[in-house]
Structures are given as structure tokens and as C-alpha cells.
């Protein structure tokens, strides 16, 4: 079984983009609206997923089963 994941620079770039999404939302939307909580959850999810893919030993975004011998 082979694991496929983004390169470390691509995953780190994805985390930086997640931080930008989070900061943009917090600065431009009123904090008393439910939408900002969804926006923040998505931003944190993007950051966490990309950092996991970049630094975890088993971090993989896709698993390929290979039955070649």
C-alpha cells in the first residue's frame, strides 16, 4: 500500500493560505454572526489538515492499494 501526500512545501503553503482565510474572515465579518463560526471552523480545518499532511509520518491525503507483485 502506497501513501500519497502533497509535498511539504505545498502543504505548508496550504496552511499559510488557511491562516490568511482565517484572518480575512475575522477582520471582515461581524463576530456576532453564525457565519463567522463556520468560516473559522473551515479555516482551522484547512490549517490542521495541511500541517498534518506536512509533518505526520503517516499523514496521507490518499491511500493507493497496489496489487502488483
pLDDT (tens digit per residue) in 42-62: 999 999 999 988 888 766 666
Nearest to 46 by CA among 13, 1, 5: 13
45/60 Cα distance (integer angstroms) = 15
Mean pLDDT of the chain: 84
67/60 Cα distance (integer angstroms) = 19
Task: Please say if the pLDDT value at position 1 is more than 70.
Answer: no
- Give the residue-averaged pLDDT of 26-31: 91
Residue 10: pLDDT band by 50, 70, 90 thresholds? confident
Amino acid at each position: 500500500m502506497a501513501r500519497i501526500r502533497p509535498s511539504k512545501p505545498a502543504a505548508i503553503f496550504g496552511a499559510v493560505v488557511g491562516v490568511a482565510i482565517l484572518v480575512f474572515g475575522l477582520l471582515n465579518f461581524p463576530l456576532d454572526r453564525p457565519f463567522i463560526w463556520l468560516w473559522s471552523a473551515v479555516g482551522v480545518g484547512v490549517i490542521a489538515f495541511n500541517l498534518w499532511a506536512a509533518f505526520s509520518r503517516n499523514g496521507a491525503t490518499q491511500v493507493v492499494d497496489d496489487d502488483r507483485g
